[in-house]
Amino acid sequence: MAAPLIAPSILSADFARLGEEVRAITIAGADWIHIDVMDGHFVPNLTIGPSVVKALRPHSAKPFDVHLMVSPVDVYLEAFAAAGADIITVHPEAGPHVHRTVQAIRALGKKAGIALNPGTPAKTLDYLIDEIDLVLVMSVNPGFGGQSFITNQLRKIEAVRKMIEKSGRAIHLEVDGGIDAVTARLCTDAGADALVAGTASFKGGPEQYAANIAALKGTV
């Protein structure tokens, strides 16, 4: 099986040096830059907005994988698209009408992702799968980095992989939360092709980033 794409979450980067951190993780081999946007309402934490995404855009040529944990979300899509997002992922629970949200993301010329919380079933995708470019299986409850991987989400990854195969469409299957070298392998065995990793990407400082990413890809 091909090595998974690695999307380091900048939530675990040094926020006082964010541009440098994005450059360093890009040079170290990141495939995508994962940006966790939290609103203090849909999830119990506050992080960054479109102006930070815009400021970071010149620091990496890699796709910006923007994970919106924001409710309601539609009103912010245009701002994140303009700021330089390439993939925009939303939660169905963020409402009010997730199908409309997906259409809006694609109308902005961006790739659309659907995030499934640990308690959200795979069948939520039934009437969305023909319109999306990515599924993000949350292996922790959203809100914070550094949480433990919830093992029963592996069954969901397997189920989503089957749905993607059946659709015949090129849809990425990404997993987010508690990813380290061990859980990375469990996820790719279950059918994931992209992995978000915050803690495991940024641990040890910039000299360690290349080794961290290689370990997550399983190439060391």
Tokens of 130: 């023909």
Residue 107 vs 182, nearer CB to ligand DX5: 182
Using CB under 6 A, which residues numbered 164 to 183 contact ligand DX5? 176-179
The secondary structure of 45-86 as a DSSP string is: -B---HHHHHHHGGG--SPEEEEEE-SS-HHHHHHHHHHT-S
Supply angle C-alpha 204, 207, 211, rounded to 5.
80
Shortest separation between residue 37's beta carbon and ligand DX5, angstroms:
9
**Which single residue is written with the structure tokens 């993939």?**
87
Contact (CB, 8 A) for 191 and 158: yes
Q: Which of 18, 147, 210, 211 binds ligand DX5 (CB under 6 A)?
A: 147
Verify whether residue 176 is a known catalytic residue.
yes
Q: For residues 103 and 204, which CB has a smaller minimum distance to ligand DX5 in the complex?
A: 204
Report if residue 146 touches ligand DX5, rule: CB under 6 A: yes
Give 96's contacts (C-beta < 8 A, 6+ positions apart): 72
Residues from 181 through 200 that contact ligand DX5 (CB under 6 A): 196-200
Q: Does 174 bind Zn ion (CB under 5 A)?
A: no
Q: Give the Cα-Cα-Cα angle 100, 51, 196 (nearest 5 degrees).
A: 65
Least distance (Å) from ligand DX5 to the CB of residue 168? 29
- CB nearer to Zn ion: give 67 or 156: 67
Query: Which of the residues 36, 74, 133, 193 is marked catalytic?
Result: 36
Distance of closest approach, residue 211 Cβ to Zn ion, in angstroms: 23
The conformation of residue 150, written as its DSSP 8-state character, comes to -
Q: Is 65 a catalytic residue?
A: no
Of 19-27, 65-73, 95-103, 185-193, the window that binds Zn ion (rule: CB under 5 A) is 65-73
Backbone angles phi, psi at 217, to 5 degrees: -75, -15
Residues that are catalytic: 36, 176
